Structure 1
Amino acid sequence: MYRVDYEREDMVIRVPRRLVDAESLSRFLGDVTLRSLLESTEHVETARRMERQRRLDQIPKGIALLRNPDYNKGTAFTEEEKDALGIRGLVPPRVHTIQEQMARVLENIRRKPNDLEKYIFLISLQDRNKTLFYRVLLENIEELMPIVYTPTVGEACQEYGHIFRRPRGIFITPDDRGRIVSLLRNWPHKDIRIIVVTDGERILGLGDLGADGMGIPVGKLALYTACAGIHHSRTLPVTLDVGTDNEALLSDPLYIGVRRPRLRGEEYDALVDEFVMAVQHVFPGALIQFEDFANRNAFRLLQRYRHRVCCFNDDMQGTAAVTLAGLYAALRLTGGSLKDQTILFVGAGEAGLGAGELIVSAMIAEGALPEEARSRCWFMDSKGLIVRDRDDLSPHKRAFAHAHPLVADPAEAVASLRPTALIGVSGQPGVFDARVLKAMARVNDRPVVFALSNPTAKAECTAREAYEHTDGRVIFASGSPFEPFEYRGRTVRTGQGNNVYIFPGVGLGVITSGARQVTDEMFFVAAKTLAQMVLPEDLEAGMIFPRLSRIRDVSLRIALAVAHVAYRDGLATVPRPEDLEAHIRSLVYYPDYENYV
């Protein structure tokens, strides 16, 4: 053991506890300067031993260690660790490598009968051994991301109260008004950099799942760690459990949330405001990611806080960036410029309108006039085309209302507007039926069709349907993955236009620079960077997004671009490193076991 007892020349000597009196301290230091002392081999070895002992003192011992997922290694503890940590006999005698443990995990996952059972197994592994969980996820990201996130996470949220094992994150209810600071302080990790928060009202395309929506913040933060290397101890999932209007949940005895209708109005706003301000007090500078809030709250909460704290809404801004990136990549196949495209969105919620705003900004950056850029983005909601004559439009929708007769049928809208890209963000499965897809094929040599609604069951069309009804000429992407399929003698692999390509890199860039705000420009550069990461062989295979196996490299490049914006625009709060890319790389967490002794 040691303590810090002596400082000189802005450096610190860590002195053993046995040298606590002045005479012993004097003999220990002598007349040797601090610099020569640090250069002494003997001192360096002593310091290393002291540091190892310090780490060892922080680690739980005995059975408590095996029940702590932050430190547990399962069967990978060495013989020396078994003795030093008091676990000899508590674990099997055989010492396994992490590669052998991964093989066991994958064998168990692959024998599960369905994806929900695979999800339960993986989340249980996360509860036991976080290092192994993230290593398995990172090295098998293409296979496992659909399990820990969309589409399986949607099913998991629907069953959350029935598959509940251990609590994760912080649950905040209206009864916690006035004490949210103390709730946040209950979290065991204190250096929190990223918080994902939901109120569970619009989980994916599944609607109001109340407190069962906690699966979304948990899943998103797992991807922050796996895809961008942000250490899991620096992340915090939060659910604002303000009730639910889902009668099935309210009558379910196993529902985990408060059993009351949703809180609305001023009381709701006051709870959110106390939470946001509590974060500034307990975790100052932490990035807040708003996730799966309903349209009625998503727009206004983002506007209320985006210039006051470091925050963003992934459904609006993350979806916008991944959509814009997909259009940029598609143009590498079709030719032309973004400002000359006509885009029809089916769905006018936060995802679609957020994408429309970012695309308008991108068109203006290419030289289009603001009015011209906005006139090239058309929207349909549940009542039909958004046109000026309608008197039922919110301000966000009215910004995209154009002069045109009201059209309720998407196929007729395609025939009339002749869009070059059709983007589905409606949550209405099958809305891109054969008529719609064939209409797109009639007005485009290479029709661009994005069915972005999640989970897979909510997609506007399947990848196979898109190919079959456009004679294979479609450029297709979906929000959730579709399995490869055979079409006219070749295997088709379609791209997944999922926000996972955007938010982990944006988050890494924000926390690296200590950005005070998250700006639209950051999402714009993220989209451009993502599109540039698409390889020619990806396009040749029918994919307009990079393979998920390259996600860490994609996230790093996006983080670098975002951090550049933060430093350029004076938003950074930490000094700019000499080599920004090397600095970001040095912060990236790779899940591997630490030697404790």
Structure 2
Amino acid sequence: MYLLLTLSLALSISFSFSNSVSACLPYDFLIANPSPTLWQGFSGSMGYTTMKTPSLNKGLGFTYSERDALGLRGLLPPAKLTLEDQVELTMQELRRKSSALDKYVFLQSLQDVNSTLYYAVLSRHTYECMPFVYTPVVGEACQKFSQLYRHTPQGLYLSIDDRGKLRSILDNWPVQDIRAIVFTDGERILGLGDQGIDGMGIPVGKLALYTACAGVHPSHCLPVALDVGTNTQDKLDDPFYIGLKRRRLTGREYDAFVAEFIEAAVDKYGKSVMLQFEDFGNSNAFRLLHHWQEKVCCFNDDIQGTAAVALAGVLGSTALTGTAVEDHRFLFFGAGEAGAGIAELIAYAIHVETGKPVEECRKQVFMLDSKGLVCKSRLHELQHHKINFAHDTEHVADLLSAVKTLKPTALVGVSTLPKSFNQAVIEEMSANNERPIIFALSNPTSKAECTPEEAYRWSNGAAVFASGSPFEPVTFNGKTYVPGQGNNAYIFPGVGLAAVACGATRITDLDMYIAAKALAEAVPKDRLDASCVYPHLRDIRDVSLKVAVAIAANKYATGQASVLPKPVDLEAHIRSVMYEPSY
């Protein structure tokens, strides 16, 4: 019994210090108070508990004075390493790992041990580490999340058995100043379908990128998994699945559970807490977004973030094609939430650029789903998010026929059907356009509609290509092409940084259009010369800052900022709140 009480108290001490990270410098406090009453009765435990607290641990980075003050002598070898030394050693170890999943597990384990070092590694080596924190490896990690679960809290797990208690459960999280929440019900994880509670890997990865790519302080971030069950039989049959083993909750009870969580979060953290919907299924994603976007500060990254990064690629392509967004004719292969989100934002962008009604602008955007072209003759069978793009045109059943009939200038793949952009399709696009836009955006890599090598070869180097997952450069006919990765990380971290910096109370379609324009304007000439419509990921923090400044300016212009008065130098203010990992 005594041992249990000791462990419990040690954990509470650990959490209390973690909670102070964003408000003060804990080491200064501890060194100034080497024998607080807090530690009486636990001889030698202050240093040990400090090292067991990820937000306080420095490993061999502790100075000798800190080791004396905190009781760390003997708990560490005598050598001292700087943070930069530790980053270099960590990268050497990461590079020795034999598989992508091993690298994912290694980085997650590092986060559980020394969070400052973890974020320093991600911030200094974002381009190299991002695939092992998010796409494409996070998909495999979610599929195996129950087996990889390491018992260290990385976020909150809220199940339908917790209904009526969600507000009080939020108090169990040790940090009170939460400003950005990413939450999922796990129904549509990437292109992998229903992963149930195992989808928690996505919010954890997304928020890691909030910090690495935009400097949102990790203590302000909270990943949340809403466990409403799963319809994936393999999960229900798995004896080691860590979620509820029951079919998905639906209907009014489901909506009430989501509402209870959102209302609890706003009550706990305030009206400017940013809530990001993540990987909700088509049947819920649009409906929930439309219900909540005028009530709280929220957005859906799969709908709006994907839309903004795709629109940025289109806007950036003008330098290569000479065609402005309002002069394009778009064909989407795939009509789910990602496709509909991109289509709606493109129509909105045409509306902004031309002043034409959005309804008229939608006529430049066509969609193809599993039953063929979305058109008026199919209105009776269409899901609600497709109806706006059901035009008065002849129905065709397949992609090649649609390309031949509609003669689009831009082909956007959001189907998760690999190899669907075949040679005949791309050759037809090339026959109709001097520089066809070919965006194969489905994730993970195995779901891409085509590879960049195929797009360049079948278009004789003319394609303006982008993908959802990373691909290596391609050399064709003596020229090196750099395939652009339409990675949502170009958008959502900057959105989060803006929301935190200005205390945004809403996130709107105009914000997403502004974010897309800021991203397109950040593409340097050398990238465009290589037919790439996105900046290099090594510059992601600078890009996120540009996106954040543009959005925050709009928040102040529209009266949707709560950090008042408006800073005289908005960029300097946003820079000042960006977290930089350091000891």
Tell whether the structures are fold-level matches, with TM greater than 0.5: yes
Hey, what does 1:574 align to over in structure 2? Answer: 563
| Correspondent of 2:376 among 373, 388, 408 | 388
Gaps of 5+ in 1: 1-47
Higher alpha-carbon deviation: 160-169 or 568-577: 160-169
Distance 1:373 1:108, change over 3 A: same
Mapping for residues 235-314 of structure 1, pairs under 5 Å: 235-284=221-270, 285-314=272-301
Distance 1:473 1:62, change over 3 A: same
> Could you tell me how far 1:282 is from its partner in structure 2?
1.2
AA aligned to 2:234 is A
Q: Is the 8 A contact 1:339 1:368 kept in 2?
A: no
> Could you tell me how far 1:55 is from its partner in structure 2?
10
The answer to whether 1:69 aligns with 2:59 is no
What SS is found at the alignment partner of 1:257?
Answer: coil
State the Cα deviation string for residues 342-374 of structure 1 (Å, max 9, x = none). 000111111111111111111112215224411
State the Cα deviation string for residues 8-50 of structure 1 (Å, max 9, x = none). xxxxxxxxxxxxxxxxxxxxxxxxxxxxxxxxxxxxxxxx988
Q: Is the 8 A contact 2:34 2:70 kept in 1?
A: no
Hey, what does 2:3 align to over in structure 1? Answer: none
Distance 1:319 1:70, change over 3 A: same
What SS is found at the alignment partner of 1:366?
Answer: helix
State the Cα deviation string for residues 391-410 of structure 1 (Å, max 9, x = none). 21123211111112211211
What SS is found at the alignment partner of 2:261?
Answer: helix
The answer to whether 1:212 aligns with 2:198 is yes
AA aligned to 2:32 is Q
Mapping for residues 81-120 of structure 1, pairs under 5 Å: 81-120=66-105
| Correspondent of 2:544 among 555, 561, 565 | 555
Mapping for residues 328-477 of structure 1, pairs under 5 Å: 328-367=315-354, 369-370=356-357, 371-390=359-378, 391-477=380-466
Q: Is the 8 A contact 2:527 2:534 kept in 1?
A: yes
What SS is found at the alignment partner of 2:465?
Answer: strand
AA aligned to 1:384 is G
TM-score, scaled to structure 1? 0.89
The answer to whether 1:172 aligns with 2:167 is no
What SS is found at the alignment partner of 2:582?
Answer: coil
Hey, what does 1:188 align to over in structure 2? Answer: 174
Aligned residues: percent identity? Answer: 52
Mapping for residues 224-243 of structure 1, pairs under 5 Å: 224-243=210-229
AA aligned to 1:580 is L
> Could you tell me how far 1:52 is from its partner in structure 2?
6.7
AA aligned to 2:164 is G
Q: Is the 8 A contact 1:331 1:337 kept in 2?
A: yes
CA distance in 1, matches of 2:60, 2:51: 10
Higher alpha-carbon deviation: 57-66 or 287-296: 57-66
> Could you tell me how far 1:54 is from its partner in structure 2?
6.7
> Could you tell me how far 1:56 is from its partner in structure 2?
9.6
AA aligned to 2:179 is R
What SS is found at the alignment partner of 1:411?
Answer: helix
What SS is found at the alignment partner of 1:61?
Answer: helix
Hey, what does 1:142 align to over in structure 2? Answer: 127
> Could you tell me how far 1:464 is from its partner in structure 2?
1.0
Q: Is the 8 A contact 2:427 2:459 kept in 1?
A: yes
Q: Is the 8 A contact 2:186 2:200 kept in 1?
A: yes
How many corresponding residue pairs? 546
CA distance in 2, matches of 1:183, 1:338: 47
Higher alpha-carbon deviation: 399-408 or 415-424: 399-408
AA aligned to 2:79 is R
Q: Is the 8 A contact 1:422 1:450 kept in 2?
A: yes
Distance 1:426 1:126, change over 3 A: same
Distance 1:477 1:75, change over 3 A: same
Hey, what does 1:588 align to over in structure 2? Answer: 578
> Could you tell me how far 1:492 is from its partner in structure 2?
2.6
Higher alpha-carbon deviation: 55-64 or 476-485: 55-64
State the Cα deviation string for residues 35-92 of structure 1 (Å, max 9, x = none). xxxxxxxxxxxxx988973799699822111111001001111111111011111011
CA distance in 1, matches of 2:481, 2:239: 45
What SS is found at the alignment partner of 2:181?
Answer: strand
| Correspondent of 1:202 among 158, 180, 188 | 188
What SS is found at the alignment partner of 1:538?
Answer: helix
> Could you tell me how far 1:490 is from its partner in structure 2?
3.5
> Could you tell me how far 1:487 is from its partner in structure 2?
2.1
CA distance in 1, matches of 2:457, 2:355: 35
Q: Is the 8 A contact 1:534 1:545 kept in 2?
A: yes
State the Cα deviation string for residues 218-259 of structure 1 (Å, max 9, x = none). 000000000010110000000001110000111111211111
AA aligned to 2:572 is A
Distance 1:256 1:167, change over 3 A: farther
CA distance in 2, matches of 1:236, 1:114: 28
Q: Is the 8 A contact 2:320 2:531 kept in 1?
A: no
> Could you tell me how far 1:484 is from its partner in structure 2?
2.2
Q: Is the 8 A contact 1:484 1:493 kept in 2?
A: yes
What SS is found at the alignment partner of 2:46?
Answer: coil
Distance 1:501 1:54, change over 3 A: farther
> Could you tell me how far 1:278 is from its partner in structure 2?
0.5
CA distance in 2, matches of 1:310, 1:447: 37
**Rg larger in structure:** 1
CA distance in 2, matches of 1:367, 1:458: 35
Q: Is the 8 A contact 1:345 1:379 kept in 2?
A: yes
Hey, what does 1:43 align to over in structure 2? Answer: none
CA root-mean-square deviation = 1.7
AA aligned to 2:71 is G
CA distance in 1, matches of 2:468, 2:489: 10
> Could you tell me how far 1:472 is from its partner in structure 2?
1.2
The answer to whether 1:317 aligns with 2:304 is yes
CA distance in 2, matches of 1:507, 1:163: 28
Hey, what does 2:137 align to over in structure 1? Answer: 152
> Could you tell me how far 1:438 is from its partner in structure 2?
1.2
Q: Is the 8 A contact 1:346 1:423 kept in 2?
A: yes
Gaps of 5+ in 2: 1-26, 40-44
Higher alpha-carbon deviation: 240-249 or 163-172: 163-172
AA aligned to 2:217 is H
Hey, what does 2:531 align to over in structure 1? Answer: 542
> Could you tell me how far 1:104 is from its partner in structure 2?
1.3
CA distance in 1, matches of 2:463, 2:46: 59
Q: Is the 8 A contact 1:116 1:156 kept in 2?
A: yes
Higher alpha-carbon deviation: 158-167 or 522-531: 158-167
Distance 1:406 1:70, change over 3 A: same
What SS is found at the alignment partner of 1:344?
Answer: strand
Higher alpha-carbon deviation: 78-87 or 59-68: 59-68
TM-score, scaled to structure 2? 0.91
CA distance in 2, matches of 1:50, 1:520: 44
CA distance in 2, matches of 1:280, 1:86: 40
Distance 1:178 1:411, change over 3 A: same
Hey, what does 2:12 align to over in structure 1? Answer: none
Q: Is the 8 A contact 2:53 2:113 kept in 1?
A: yes
CA distance in 1, matches of 2:321, 2:360: 21
> Could you tell me how far 1:309 is from its partner in structure 2?
0.8
Distance 1:464 1:92, change over 3 A: same
CA distance in 2, matches of 1:367, 1:133: 46
CA distance in 2, matches of 1:514, 1:205: 33
